[in-house]
Amino acid sequence: MRKLIFLVLPLFLLVQKAAAQQVLSGVVKDSTGLPVAGATLWIKGSNANAIADDKGLFSIAVKKSLPFVLRITSVGFKPHDIEVTSLSAEALNIVLARDSHLTEVVITSRRRLETAQDVPIPISVVGGAQVEATGAFNVNRLKELIPTVQLYSSNPRNTTLNVRGLGSTFGLTNDGIDPGVGFYVDGVYFARPAATTLDFIDVEQIEVLRGPQGTLFGKNTTAGAFNITTRKPSFTPGATFEASYGNFGYIQAKASVTGGLIAKKLAGRLSFSGTQRDGLIYNVATQKHTNDLNNLGVRGQLLFTPSDKVTITATGDLSRQRPDGYAQVVAGVVTTQRAAYRQFDNIIKDLNYQLPSRNPFERLIDHNTTWRSGNDLGGASVNIDVKLGKGTLTSTTAWRYWNWDPSNDRDFTGLAVLQLSQATSKHQQWTQEVRYAGNFSNRLSGVIGVFAIKQDLKTDPVHIEESGNAQWRFSQSTTSDKWKTPGLFDGYGIKTKSRLQTTGAAIFAQVDWAITDEIHVLPGLRFNYDKKKVNYDRQTYGGLETSDPSLIALKNLVYTAQAFDVEADENNLSGQITLAYKASSRLNAFATFSTSYKPVGVNLGGLPTSNGKTMIELAQIKPEYVTHYEFGLKSKPFANATANLTFHHTDVEDFQTQVQTAEVGVNRGYLANAEKVRVWGIEFDASVNVGKNLSLYGALAYTEGEYVSFKNAPVPLEETGAPSAFKDISGGDLPGISKWAGSLGGEITTNGGRLLGLGGKFFFGADSYFRSDFSSSPSPSKFLNVPGYALFNGRLGFRAINGLTLFVWGRNLTNRDYFEQLLPAAGNAGHYAAVLGDQRTYGVTVRYSL
């Protein structure tokens, strides 16, 4: 990996001289003549925009008739408007005046350019510069900046991305349901949750919308949406190189090159990212570390502007992860309600085995099954924007794939209980979205669109679960000596072939009706159609060949064959209405009522049994129905500050949840419907510039989530073996939700300085994140609760005016031991494992832009 990084990176530094362009170009400087890196330039009334590079240079392909107004904004400077009446080859020389007022953040979530403070939606925006400065190179780290985002991942497949505690099933993923949080990159929907574990590549801005957004986005989003935009190709040649080094062998390298290509109207951008780190957990059996990082990603874009009204962007990307990892450590042992001989400590005593450590933060394992997490994602897309009337017609066509090749140790011990657990998958998706966004009249604007998606997910070649020679003792449920029959379970397992084919289509629209300049009404509608077809076939194999009915019965207590076919289709109508009131230039208020649906779910992880019979009725579960209320205030109490407050309340009927079972053969749990859940809370976020050298931000969220009614839920881990395998958990906490979560940070810079003979600015930045305890079990447990924790990160460095940035950084500076997730072992013998948070890490980053 290291060799590949250093072989590839120099290629990105070869920059070709651009051909002459009929574009608007120039440089942005401050009053002292220093370049203003990162300044945003926007042609008002259009989607044409650019970001100034580290030398202050910019170029914009003009798509609007003359004359037009160019707005320039940057943090610490007054917004500046320039009327452009003619285009010439002479570059603009723009000078910005210093100002401590906050810069308005421009967003695109409503398919138009507007400022975040004016949009009647709770939205958090993280710029690419903040992503790079804080080391938030994936969603798991981004959640430390946005406390209403939750991400849990025991491996890329088993990843949960939620907003306000809603969106996906907690902890373990069942491929048969749709995520409730939409994940979009440059307008392309990513269907598989594994995409959220990959490194960001050349990100310009991340917008996180909270609450249902089905009337704005192609794929229905019942809980929120991530709208990620990457840096676009530029006609002005440029290149950026970044390298980071840290403890535990950490290396991260990034590079990007852009510029004009063969034709005057063609530009390209090529970006690369590579991350490697040694493992943080030590396997005493193999005598090597595991849970390392080994990620590669590349993204290429071509921008073609055949006329001032048409823009075509073609994109291709590849991401590859090959870690030796995602191993979990045993975090504790619970006494269940099973007989004494079925308790974990008695089981391992009989097998003459001891755990390598009872302290999870010693980070020791002795797993005998290889951990492997081959994770590949990629795809291609073509986006066409056509200026039509007072708006823009957009077509986005995309194809994406996901290949998953894992190997796990699901018993979390050095014993051969489950010696193979390999749930391979291959997924492809095709999407098409066409929408029109713009002004329909002086008082009416909005977006209307159609969306279609087709997915094909199949095992390749098969899912395998196989027992080892210790399985008999963990599965033993009677005192019969026949459990000890030599070889009875050794090599006994299941091979599963399954295929899920889905088709979805939607028509969506949202309009903004300005009744007066102060009062706006925003209604929206969505019609959705979904069809799912499943073929599931699981067969047993191996173990002792026998005709003894009693021995066959014992084998069937561990694994049984299952087969079923399900075909489901449904349609629904949902919508929203928002009333927005702009009381003054400093205060906006809004109230929203919305409904939303999550499509019907199908089980792809195996079904539980009742009295020896497969519960076929659980092969299909009901769609979710969401009712949502929201009230918000967005304010600018001072010219240099923002403060926003939101109250939200969501009821979900037939909530789709993933539940664990004591049956080993139910792979990763199974899906069920809880009759009703409720989530409500209050969110506050603020930012302020103190003078021209200090910026601060903060966010605080209080969230309550509970099962209003779930009368037939599986019992928690400690109640395994109870007379009833099901329990009424109505009133219990939803998993994954901390009642309190928050973030606080900022950065201070000097007026000037010199380092290594270069002029520039020194800076110091700090970020903190905390959350209170939360349930880590779908059925509330006394033991599977993650204690609250706080993290502190910092950076100290220098930004030169010639494009060089150099800084040292540290994460989890207090070296806090904390869990990210707790999960029971397969079979529920009483032991449970943990996904550990990283201990203290530190390093240095060097970035240079040409």
Report the pLDDT averaged over residues 260-284.
92
What are the percentages of helix, strand and coil residues in the chain, rounded to 5?
Answer: 10, 55, 40
- Position 241 scores a pLDDT of 94
In DSSP notation, 618-687 reads GSEEPPEEEEEEEEEEEEEEETTEEEEEEEEEEEEEEEEEEE--S-TTSTT-EEEEEEEEEEEEEEEEEE
Residue 475 and residue 664 in contact, taking contact as beta carbons nearer than 8 Å:
yes
Share of the chain above pLDDT 90, in %: 59
pLDDT digits (tens, 9 = 90+) for 513-530: 999 999 999 999 999 999
- Band (pLDDT 50/70/90 cuts) for residue 616 is confident
- Position 21 scores a pLDDT of 39
- Band (pLDDT 50/70/90 cuts) for residue 663 is low
Report the pLDDT averaged over residues 636-659.
92
pLDDT digits (tens, 9 = 90+) for 783-816: 999 999 999 999 999 988 777 899 999 999 999 9
pLDDT digits (tens, 9 = 90+) for 200-234: 888 888 899 999 998 988 898 899 999 999 999 98
- Position 22 scores a pLDDT of 58
Report the pLDDT averaged over residues 711-723.
89
Q: Nearest Cα to 725, choosing from 624, 614, 609, 633?
A: 609
Report the pLDDT averaged over residues 619-625.
91
**507: part of which helix (H) or strand (E)?**
strand 493-514
**8: part of which helix (H) or strand (E)?**
helix 2-8
Ramachandran category for residue 345: left, alpha or beta (phi over 0 → left; psi -120 to 50 → alpha):
alpha
pLDDT digits (tens, 9 = 90+) for 66-122: 778 888 887 667 778 888 877 776 788 888 876 655 556 776 777 777 788 888 889
Q: Is 80 exceeded by the pLDDT of residue 318?
A: yes
How far is the C-alpha of 796 from the C-alpha of 800, rounded, in Å? 14
Peptide bond into 716 cis (omega under 30): no
- Position 312 scores a pLDDT of 95
- Position 142 scores a pLDDT of 84
3-state secondary structure string across 244-313: EEECCCEEEEEEEEEEECCCCCEEEEEEEEEEEECCCEEECCCCEEECCEEEEEEEEEEEEEEECCEEEE
Report CA dihedral (91, 97, 100, 106) to the nearest 10 degrees: -30
Strand pairing partners for 351? Answer: none
- Position 701 scores a pLDDT of 97
Say if residue 771 is exposed, middle or buried (CB neighbours under 10 Å; 0-12, 13-18, 19+). Answer: buried
Residue 774 CB neighbours (<10 A): 24
3-state secondary structure of 738: coil
pLDDT digits (tens, 9 = 90+) for 591-609: 999 999 999 988 887 777 7
Chain centroid offset of residue 595 CA:
23
Q: Is 70 exceeded by the pLDDT of residue 20?
A: no
Q: Is 50 exceeded by the pLDDT of residue 15?
A: no
- Position 53 scores a pLDDT of 77
Report the pLDDT averaged over residues 371-393.
93
Q: Chain-wide mean pLDDT for the chain? A: 89
Report CA dihedral (549, 551, 556, 557) to the nearest 10 degrees: 120
pLDDT digits (tens, 9 = 90+) for 735-784: 999 999 999 999 999 987 888 888 888 999 999 999 999 999 989 999 99
Q: Is 50 exceeded by the pLDDT of residue 376?
A: yes
Report CA dihedral (382, 192, 448, 62) to the nearest 10 degrees: -40
Cα first-last separation, the chain: 26
Among the ranges given (24-28, 127-131, 186-190, 701-705), the one the predictor scored with the smallest mean pLDDT: 127-131
How far is the C-alpha of 617 from the C-alpha of 615, rounded, in Å? 5
Cβ partners under 8 Å of residue 421, min gap 6: 369, 406, 407, 408, 409, 410, 464, 465, 466, 826
In 284-417, DSSP assigns E strands to 288-290, 293-307, 310-321, 329-333, 364-365, 372-388, 391-407
Residue 657 and residue 714 in contact, taking contact as beta carbons nearer than 8 Å:
no
- Position 619 scores a pLDDT of 85
Report CA dihedral (260, 262, 265, 271) to the nearest 10 degrees: -40
